[in-house]
Structure 1
Amino acid sequence: MNKFVILGAVLGSAVLLSACEEKKPLTPEEVWHGYCTSIGNAARSILLDRQNGIEKTAAVEHASKLTDPTTKKFVDAQIEKVYAYPANQLELDRDALMAKFKKEATDECLATPYDKDNLPDYKQF
């Protein structure tokens, strides 16, 4: 019985120590993938805002505060796409529609060429 307690303590310590280990730096591709995931999440949020009655002018005003040009370009495009979507279709399976907009925005971003030496500055969404 004591062997199992000691073994458990040793394994637990090993797991804790490995969690404290420094993470390897992300490659530019991993950074871009994370960025594009955030763009997809932003598209989903823009759609959710529209479904909840946020006017386009408020969305545009909020987006005008973005300082990164790449992010602003993607977010502005998503605002245009979301607010061009027919209003009578917004409530037909909200979750599926949000997933669709998220996936399309992520895929569009991933397909966009990017400069490995000048990646956008963003906070994970």
Structure 2
Amino acid sequence: MKKLLVLSFMVALVGCAEKKPLTPEEQWQGYCRSVGNAARTIMLDRQNAMEKDKAIEHANKIDDDTTRTFILGIIDEIYALPKEEINQDVAAAREKVRAEFTQKCIATPHDEMPDYKPF
């Protein structure tokens, strides 16, 4: 019984160990996942009839230049899509833009990590 208790304690300690710091590439991929999630949210807002000017107004409140540029570009592309296309299969449309903008972000050259809050 003591061995089981000791083993359980050891497993708990290993689980609580500090995580290794993320590499710059891992940090950028995490940022890009967040950008993709923002694209999905913007598509959801568009599907729910949010006006483009309201989306732009909200995006302009973002302090970080890199993030604001990504978001404004996403808004332009999503609002250029025909309503019929985005409402044909709403879930598929959201997933498509999430994946597309995540990949676009990952492919974007970058020198430093933006200061952002995950979406």
Give the whole-Å Cα distance in 1 for the aligned partners of 2:39 and 2:86.
14
What do residues 32-83 of structure 1 show as CA deviations (whole Å, max 9, x unaligned)? 0000000000000000011111111110011011011110110000000110
1:10/1:27 CA distance change after superposition, 3 Å: same
CA RMSD of aligned residues (A): 1.3
Give the whole-Å Cα distance in 2 for the aligned partners of 1:8 and 1:112.
50
1:59 aligns with 2:29: no
Q: Partner of 1:36 in structure 2?
A: 32
| Number of equivalent positions | 119
In structure 1, give the amino acid aligned to 2:107: A
In structure 2, give the amino acid aligned to 1:119: M
Query: Partner of 2:87: helix, strand, or coil?
Result: coil
1:77 aligns with 2:77: no
1:21 Cα shift?
A: 1.4
Identify unmatched segments of 5+ residues in structure 2: none
Give the whole-Å Cα distance in 1 for the aligned partners of 2:3 and 2:100.
48
Q: Partner of 1:26 in structure 2?
A: 22
Q: Partner of 1:48 in structure 2?
A: 44
Rg larger for: 1
Give % identity.
50
1:9/1:72 CA distance change after superposition, 3 Å: same
Give the whole-Å Cα distance in 1 for the aligned partners of 2:77 and 2:3.
57
1:15 Cα shift?
A: 2.5
Q: Partner of 2:115 in structure 1?
A: 121
Q: Which runs of 4+ in 1 moved over 6 A?
A: none
1:120 Cα shift?
A: 0.6
1:113 Cα shift?
A: 0.6
1:7 Cα shift?
A: 4.4
1:101 aligns with 2:86: no
Give the whole-Å Cα distance in 1 for the aligned partners of 2:4 and 2:77.
54
TM-score (norm 2): 0.93
Give the whole-Å Cα distance in 2 for the aligned partners of 1:8 and 1:53.
58
TM-score (norm 1): 0.88
